[in-house]
Each structure stands twice: as structure tokens, then as C-alpha cells.
A and B are shown apart, each in its own frame.
Chain A
Amino acid sequence: MQPTSSMKEEFLKKWQMGLQIYRPLIDNTSVSERRKAIKLSADVAMASLRKGTTCWSRALIQKTATEDNFLVRQMLSGIKAETLINKKLPKVMCHRKIVRRSKMILRRRQSRSAIEEVAAKARKLIKKKTQGLRNVVPGGEFMSNDVLLIQETLDYIVSLQTQVNVMRSIVDAAEAGSER
């Protein structure tokens, strides 16, 4: 599925709004400063498209709020900014060593058949992958169940695709313009 044109439009508008905030600081002479400004405003624009309905968008906004609180407040309008920034998402944390040790103890007591072992290994592998996915998707640690995780990943991928498409077209335009 491809991102729709209206999504791209909205993203562009919001991104531009975010960049306008940086406009007074137009003498960001260093490339890294500008890059950060571009990336942050693009991220917030992307996340604000979802209006706080998805977990990843909230986590992403919170993450950028730690880097540039002012930008986030300006870009999001009204009450939503406060709630999104200040709200702490419930963290699902487990001390992995302890969990692992207790699982090993449990496993010793269980009877092992060949089929079970294979299935258990497959399950472990899948758990590792889902953990990897949680690391990649913003706010993944907060998603307690797999269903939610996959749904968020879906949405996140679509939004990322939008972002990449819009940014790429702008960059191509800019570079084509600068070649003249």
C-alpha cells in the first residue's frame, strides 16, 4: 500500500510549519544544525498526522520533545501538546536476567520431546525478533502485546514511506534547482 497524496500534502504542510519555526534562526550555519532541524520537524510532522492515536506517534513526539521542546509545542496546537509531552506511557519492563533464570529452572522440570523443543526454539526465535522490532519502532517497549506491536509497525511503515517520498521529492527538486 502506498501513501496517499493527501497524506503527503498534510505531512508537507506540517513539516513546512515546523521549518518556519526555525526560520528566525536562519543563521544556523552548521550543516548538522540544519539537518537536526529538518529531521526533527519532519518527525514531529509525521507523528502529528496521527493526532496521538497511535503509540508510536506519541512516543516519537515525546522523544523529539526531549531534544527540542519548543518546536514540539509550537507545532502541535493547544492542549494536545501538553498531554502528549507530559504523559508518561506505561512501561512494560522486565529484568531480563531474572526472567531468563526462572525460565531455565522451569524448563528443567518440564519433559522434553523433540517436537516441543523445536517449537520452543521457534518461539524463542520469534520472541527475539519481536524484541528487535520493538527496538526499532518508536515506543515499542510500551506495547505490551504482539497484536498492538504489529499494528503499530504497519502504521509506522506507512508513515515512514510517506515521509521518505515527500522528502525525496523535495530533495530532488532542491538539488535539481541548485545545479543550474
Chain B
Amino acid sequence: MDLSGRFGARSGDGVPFREATALESLHLGGGGEEFRQMVPPENAGGFTALLELPPTQAVELLHSSSSSASQATTLHSLGTLSFPSNPLLMERASRFSVIATENQQNGNVSGETTTTSSVPSNEHIKTEPAETETCDQAAVEKQSNRCGKRKELDKKVKSSTKKKSKSSEENEKLPYVHVRARRGQATDSHSLAERARREKINARMKLLQELVPGCDKIQGTALVLDEIINHVQSLQRQVEMLSMRLASVNPRIDFNLDTILASENGSLMDGSFSGATMQLAWPLQVMETEQSYHHRQLQQPPSQQWPFDGLNQPVWGREENQDHGNDHNNLMVGSASLHPNQVKMEL
């Protein structure tokens, strides 16, 4: 799923998130920043799956900007159900909701969802308001109590934060861990902590399986880990190959291209490059080799203010057809300046 939106960005770009659903009614209006709603599935099981998310949300919150962290405290006071506009987060939320609903249909994970829902409720991620979460969790638990599918021990074990703050990436400390033990399972704190830990690991392994292509079909942790290792190694090898290719293409091309493309912003990164950009890019490097100082001064600040204007596309087309010689250096400088404008027009 490729979500639009910016990772950790706070700009109101107005791109609608596909997963805004029922929880919109709970949105009481945020502070200075915009927040999008998380994917709130309709059924309770889905929401517990959402609650299952927070272990992974810890990763996201680490990466969200500090402003979101400061916002979190205001969020608590406001009591708004808002979530950081992290496409990463929502991606995982949607994924988990899908997984949870699937699991619920299988009917074997209801206990798990409650345990994991209780666990995340205490690994409390900053941007999740406590009120809505706990009241929803209470609703979930009521529902789970009513449905006679599982027999649970009504024993809530409170363990200290030590066990929960095992994983160092979670930096919030909450006093209690409410864990519900299933029937026939040991309820001493050790095995509960062990179980919570295992479920955390399983949750993250699920995410990994989604990330790595072709891992969903594989059964068993060992093979999945194998695939993950292979994937990481192949990615690393690809980076090496690409840097080799880039280095061998042209002595100057890497520097120039980056300068040019940096001024294009994200629009260029999203899709494939249009052919025109290539044509526009190449003469600039040629010029660089011939007029290194002149051009370097032009390009020195990365976010370039291209001062020239006036050249239009036909002129540019003519230029590239000609031999890229020294004659048209000035013209090329001017036409190079048109490059960002033109590309923006095209894109």
C-alpha cells in the first residue's frame, strides 16, 4: 500500500487519507498541527488490532518530529483522538486491522488481541490519548467477556514497569501492565512477561513479513528470517552496484545531477523521470566539464534561484540536438536555468 502524504511532515497538503473512517466522529479538533485519523475498523476486534499497533508505533514516534512529541502532551489534555500523520503509521495500522480481522475470523486470536491490547495500553505511545484508548479497551474487554468463545481467568496481573521497559525503544513509563491470562496458562509474572515479549516479537515479525516480498507464504520463523536476511543482503548489494554504476557513468554526473534534481523536489522522485529531464540534465554536465568555475558558482547553493528566464522549449530542443560545444555555453547556462521551470510545467 503506498500511502500519499509525507513522512513526519506537518504541511497541510490536503491529500486525503484513504483510511479515515468511523473514528472521525471522535476527532475533537487538534491543536496547531493537523492530524489524520488512524484507520479505525468498525468492529472491536479491529480496534484492538489498532491497539496492537503501538509496539510498532514506537518506531514511528521515534521518527516523528519533535513537534509531535510536544503536541502529544497537549493532546492528552485536549483529549483528541488524533494520530500523527505518518503514512508509515497508518500503513501499519491498516495492515494490522486487516490482519486482526483475518485472525478474528479464524477465531484463535481473540485472547491474543486482548492481551496485546492490554500490553500496548501500557506501553503508552505519546500521541495516543489515554482516555479514548482505555475506554475503548474497556468496551473491547466487555465485548470479549460477553462472547463466550474464550474462557479467561479474570486475573489481572500487575507487573512492574521493569518488564515492560525491557525494549529500549519504548521510552514511556507507565505504572501498570494489565495482562489477561488465558485459561490453562501460567499466571506468574515471568511467563506473562515472556508471553508479552513473544507477542511483541510476533507482531513485529508479521510486519517484517509484509515488508519483505514473498514472505507471507512462508511458514515458520526460521525461514522467514532467512528471507529477511537475503533481502537485506540483496538491498545492500544493490546499493553497491548502483554506486559503482553511478561512479562509472561520468566523472561529474553525480554532482550535477544531484544539484539539478534537488531543485525539483519530490515531484521528480515520485514517478519516473520524463525524457526531457534527461535531455536537460546532460548538457549541464558537459558544460560543467568545460566551464567548471563558472557553472559551479551558479550551482553552488543547493536550492537554486535560477535568475534567468526567457528561453522556451523549442530553443532547448534545438540546443540539445546540436553538438554540445563551447559555442553555446552562455545559452546553455540560460537554458539550464529554465530547466526547473520547464520540468515543473511538464510534471
Contact = CB atoms under 8 A, between A and B. Distances in A.
- Which are the 10 A-B pairs with shortest beta-carbon distances? A16-B258, A177-B282, A129-B225, A34-B247, A6-B6, A35-B247, A160-B235, A39-B243, A5-B266, A167-B242
Contacts of A113: none
30 contacts: A4-B5, A5-B6, A6-B9, A9-B265, A12-B261, A16-B302, A19-B258, A20-B302, A23-B296, A26-B252, A29-B251, A32-B247, A34-B247, A35-B248, A42-B239, A129-B225, A133-B225, A133-B228, A136-B229, A145-B197, A147-B166, A150-B208, A153-B228, A153-B232, A167-B242, A167-B246, A169-B269, A175-B249, A176-B278, A178-B253
Contacts, number: 217
Interface string A47-87: 00010011000000000000000000000000000000000
B21 interface: no
Contacts of B245: 171, 175
B346 interface: no
A148 B168 contact: yes
A180 interface: yes
Interface string A147-166: 11011011111101101111
A144 B305 CA distance: 49
Interface majority SS on B: helix, strand, loop or mixed?
Answer: helix
B2 interface: yes
B72 to A, nearest CB: 16
Contact of A1 (B210, B254, B302): B210
A172 B9 CA distance: 28
A125 interface: yes
B137 to A, nearest CB: 22
B201 A2 contact: no
Interface string B220-240: 011001101101110110111
A127 B239 CA distance: 28
Contacts of A42: 239, 243
B15 to A, nearest CB: 11
Contacts of B247: 31-32, 34-35, 37-38
Interface string A8-27: 11001101110110110010
A15 B277 CA distance: 20
B232 A147 contact: no
A173 B188 CA distance: 60
Given A13-B262, A168-B242, A178-B250, A154 B204 contact: yes
A112 to B, nearest CB: 21
Contacts of B8: 6
Interface of B: 1-3, 5-9, 55-56, 58-59, 62-63, 87-88, 91-92, 95, 166-169, 197, 200-201, 204-205, 207-208, 210-212, 221-222, 225-226, 228-229, 231-233, 235-236, 238-240, 242-255, 257-259, 261-262, 265-266, 269-270, 272-273, 275, 277-279, 281-282, 285, 292, 296, 302, 320
A163 B253 CA distance: 18
Contacts of A53: 62-63
A145 B166 contact: yes
A126 interface: yes
B257 A160 contact: no
Contacts of B226: 129
Contacts of B232: 133, 136-137, 153, 156-157, 160
Contact of A17 (B5, B168, B302): B302
Contact of B239 (A13, A163, A175, A176): A163
A117 interface: no
A67 B249 CA distance: 24
Contacts of B282: 177-178, 180
Which of A22, A42, A169 lies at the interface centre, i.e. has the most chain B CB atoms within 10 A of its CB?
Answer: A169
Contact of A157 (B235, B239, B296): B235
A167 B262 contact: no
Contacts of A7: 7
Contacts of A129: 221-222, 225-226, 229
Contact of B261 (A20, A22, A170): A170
A121 to B, nearest CB: 10
A150 B198 CA distance: 12
A167 B224 CA distance: 27
